Amino acid sequence: MPLDSAARVFEDLERHRIVPVVSIENEAHLDALAGGLALAGLPIVEITLRSAYAHRAIARASSTHALRVGAGSVLTVDDAKATADAGASFIVSPGLHSGVVDWCLDNGMPVLPGVATATEVLAAREMGLRTLKFFPASVIGGAAWLAAIAGPIPDMRFVATGGIDAASAPGFLARPNLLAVGGSWFLPKGASSRDPEATATGVRDALAALTNPLTR
C-alpha cells in the first residue's frame, strides 16, 4: 500500500497541472509512455482499468518507472483493493461510490470520485473530501461549471477530465478551484505512441501552451 498522503498527491497534481489519462495495452506501450514522460519531466499518470494489462501496467509503472500512478475507471471496492495492491498512489472513479470512498479513507488511499452536480459535491464534502474529479467536464458545463460551483461551495477543488482538449484546457486551468486537467489529447496516437520522443514532445508542447499566455 502506498504511503503518500492525500495532501502530497494533490500537491503534485497542482504542481504539474496536467495528467495523462491512458489505457495501456502491453509492456512495450507502457515503457514507451513512461520513457516519454521521464524525458518531459512529468512523473504522474492515470492508468485506466480498461485493458487486460491494466493491473500489470500499474505495477510496472509504479515500481520499474517510479511514476506516481493513479488507477482510473475504478468502479468497485475490489477494483480499489487490487489497484492499491498493484502499486497505485491514488484512486480515480467516474462517480461518487460510497463504498470505494469509504475503503480509500479507511486505508489511507487518496481518492478522486467523480461528480457532476452540486448534490454530489455536497455528498462528497459530507464524507470529508475536499478534492474531487469533475467528470465528464466538457459536456456538463465546462469551466463555467467550476465558476458556478465555487460561489456556494468555495472550499472544494477539482481535477477535470472528460473531453478536454488543447483549446479548452487553458480555460479550465484558469479557474482557482481547479488543480489539474486530465486527458490524452497531447499524447501521440497509433504507432507514434510507442515512441518516447513523440510522447515527450506532446507533453512539452501541452505544458508550454498551458503556461504561455500568448497561446491562450
Q: Which residues of the chain are modeled with pLDDT < 70? A: 1-4, 212-216
pLDDT of res. 4: 62
Alpha carbon distances (Å) from 17 to 6, 121, 197, 209: 16, 21, 21, 12
pLDDT of res. 210: 83
With respect to CATH, is domain 6-205 assigned 3.20.20.70? Answer: yes
Give yes or no: 46 in active site. yes
Do 160 and 119 touch, CB atoms closer than 8 A?
A: no
What are the pLDDT digits (tens) for 101-117? 999 999 999 999 999 99
Catalytic hit among 14, 81, 126, 133: 133
* Rounded (to 5) percent helix, strand, coil in the chain: 50, 20, 35
Catalytic hit among 11, 14, 27, 46: 46
Q: Domain-by-domain residue ranges, the chain?
A: 6-205
Give yes or no: 133 in active site. yes
pLDDT of res. 212: 59
Q: For residue 137, what is its C-alpha cell?
A: 467536464
